Amino acid sequence: MHIVIPDDYQHVIRSLDCFSLLDGLQVSIYHDAQKNPNVLAQRFRDADALVLTRERTSIGAQLLTQLPRLKLISQTGKTGVHIDLDACTAQGVAVMEGRGSPIAPAELTWTLILNARRQLIPAIQGLYAGHWQTNLGERLYGQTLGIWGYGRIGQRLARYAQAFDMSVLVWGSETARDAAVRDGHRAAGCKQAFFSDVDVLSLNLRLTESTRHVVTVDDLLQMKPSALLVNTSRAELLAPGALLQALSSGRPGYAALDVLDDEPILDQAHPLLNHPRVLCTPHLGYVEKHSYELYFGDAFANVQAFFRGDPCQLVKPAAMQ
C-alpha cells in the first residue's frame, strides 16, 4: 500500500509521534507547494491513499481521472470545498475526515488582536532598529468584540473577551445569535449594525459556497475608522479586493490576517504584506504541535481503518446526505 502526503512545507510530518501509525507502509512525502495538476497527477499516480493537510491541495474531477489506483483520501480535520466529493464518488474514491480543535486557532486569533491593537510589531522593529517607543497602541478594555460565527472558536473568543473586560456582539445565523444571548452576550439586530458598532471584528465562519465572498466592501465601509478586522478563517470570505479598497477609504483602520488568497504567499511585494496598517501571519491558526498530532493522528488512523475494512468516518457528497 502506497500513501502519498503532499504539502509538508515544514518538514515536520515524519517527526510527529503519530507517524508511527504508518510504520511498515510505503509513504511518500512532498515538501513543496505544488498546484500544477500535471505534476500532482504524476506524484499521485501510484498512490492508494492521499493524506491531505487541510485545504492545501485541491482534488477535482480532472485530477481524479488520472489516478486509477487511488482508493482513499484521508483528510486532516474536516473536509472542505477543496475536495469534489461528487467526483470522488463517481471515481469510487472514499473520503474520510477527522476532528478539529478550536484551541490553537482561538489562541492565534487573540494573539493577533493583542498585537494589532497594541501595535507591537512596529514597536519591536523600532527597538531592534535602535529606536525607543516609536508608536502608540490601544488597550482592549472597554471595547466591543464582534464575532461573526459563534461556533467553538467564536465561543472561546467570547470568553477571552470577557477576561479582558470587553463586551461581545455576535452576528450570524439565528441559532448562533440565540446561543450568544443565552451565554450573556448581545446579538446584533442586523449586519449593518454589527459592522458599525464593533471595535474589533473577528471572522470565524467556515468557507462554503454560501459564505464565499460574504463580506463586501460596503460591509467594511460601515466600520469605524479606528476598528480592527481580524480574519483567521479563510481569505475567500471577503469579496476580491474588498479589504484593500476599504482600507484605502479609511474604514476599517486596521486589519490582522492569518489567511490570504492563493496560499502560500511567497511574493514579498504582495500588497497586504506591505500595507502599513495590516498585520499578516502565514496561516498559523492550526499549525501547532498538539493540533498536528490530533489532525494527522486521526488521518493516519483512518487510513488503517479503511484498508482493514473498517471505515467509520466516510464523507458523502451533499446529494447523498
Estimate the share of the chain in helix, then strand, then coil, as percent rounded to the nearest 5.
Answer: 35, 15, 45
Burial of residue 223 (CB within 10 Å: 0-12, 13-18, 19+) is buried
What CA–CA distances, in Å, run from 213 to 48, 120, 254, 277? 35, 30, 19, 22
C-alpha to C-alpha distance for 29 and 22, rounded to whole angstroms? 12
Q: At what angle do helices 103-118 and 289-307 cross, to 10 degrees?
A: 150
**What are the residue numbers of the active site?**
234, 263, 283
Inter-residue contact 232 to 258 (CB < 8 Å): yes
User: CA nearest 111: which of 287, 319, 297?
Assistant: 287
Cell of 7: 504539502
Q: Where are the beta strands (DSSP E) in the chain?
A: 2-5, 26-29, 49-52, 72-75, 94-96, 144-148, 167-171, 186-187, 200-203, 228-231, 254-257, 278-280
Cell of 206: 467556515
C-alpha to C-alpha distance for 259 and 284, rounded to whole angstroms? 9
Q: Phi, psi at residue 164, to the nearest 5°?
A: -100, 15
